[in-house]
Structure 1
């Protein structure tokens, strides 16, 4: 009886030490093996395909005011604005564009999503129809007292179309992943000239 208990204790100890060693080896391999290549730098004047969208960056600028494209900014608040031409590549109208551009600025809270407006009529977060290019303004409110940066740095995110997802068996755009970075000079207002190729 005592011999069986000792044998079991010995087995558990060996298994525990083996498990701990396996975890340690996996952690070391992960630390050295997970070298990520830097994301490609995308040309600001080019058309960029992100799965659902074709994007053409137009201009970036700093602005302030309480009603920029209908966005309810606090009086005296500064904002970074990116104007971009967007074309919906899907077969139906959608507004799935909030995460396609992510600002990489210390002056913008990364947890804050931008306001997005149609520039021609200041409609906030409209559905964009298939195949029709629209000029949109992404507007990030700067933190209180923050000065606008000299350039706007962005990461672009692509989604992949799946005929059936694993959870519901329905079609859709899934698996968001970064495809590259973009850097645009920040002008001083909405009259800044468009970026030319």
Structure 2
């Protein structure tokens, strides 16, 4: 009787270990597959919906001028400038646009946030009003001695609106998630042509 109970216990233990191992392996394989699944490649000539914002990339270029839209650059330094049209799709004015784009580490230091400037009057980090498209410049200072890249890689981040969040029960935009990548050609300077197909 005791031997029979021992046998059943051993069988359950082995089965439990096997099940746990199978679940662990499946989880690892699932995570591995998700981590290595490539992001969609977005067309820079088309508008991009990120939830809070509608983005229209316009052009990218490197400048060695002393100022870029009123922003003082380091002496002898260069800056990579990305111009794009941004439309606030929310119901209130906001400037939560700093994290909507992540620069490729091959072009700039990804730990460095860009300066964001309103091109029409060089206002630094303005709040953008709902439904009003504005032309903005994202400015990254390039490392000393860095050559101008031929193209500029970016990852686009989207957030999801929740009427009530789980922590405070308040509305907001949450769960930043990469939705695609962009590759934008880098022009010779501020006079470079826009990349939109409808722009001469």
Query: Where in structure 2 are there 5+ consecutive unaligned residues?
Result: 1-12
Corresponding residue for residue 146 of structure 1: 146
Task: Note the alpha carbon deviations across 1:9-58, whole angstroms, 9 max, x for none.
Answer: xxxxxx9xx88x94x65553333222132111111110111001011000
Q: What is the TM-score with the length of structure 2 in the denominator? A: 0.84
Task: Note the alpha carbon deviations across 1:102-127, whole angstroms, 9 max, x for none.
Answer: 11132411111000000001111000
- Call closer, same or farther: CA 1:26–1:84 in 2, change over 3 Å: same
Report runs of 4+ in structure 1 exceeding 3 Å deviation.
Answer: 24-28
- Call closer, same or farther: CA 1:77–1:165 in 2, change over 3 Å: same
Q: What is the TM-score with the length of structure 1 in the denominator? A: 0.85
Give the conservation status (yes or no) of the 8 Å contact 1:108–1:142.
Answer: yes
Alignment coverage as a number of residue pairs = 182
| CA–CA separation in structure 2 for the residues paired with 1:84 and 1:122 | 14
- SS of corresponding position for 2:66: coil
Q: Map 1:28-67 onto structure 2 (within 5 A).
A: 28-34=25-31, 35-36=33-34, 37-67=37-67
- SS of corresponding position for 1:32: helix
Give the conservation status (yes or no) of the 8 Å contact 2:107–2:153.
Answer: no
- The alignment status of 1:78 with 2:78, answered yes or no, reads yes
Aligned-pair distance for 1:149?
Answer: 1.0
- SS of corresponding position for 2:72: coil
Aligned-pair distance for 1:144?
Answer: 1.6
Query: Where in structure 1 are there 5+ consecutive unaligned residues?
Result: 1-14
- SS of corresponding position for 2:182: strand
* Cα-Cα RMSD: 2.1
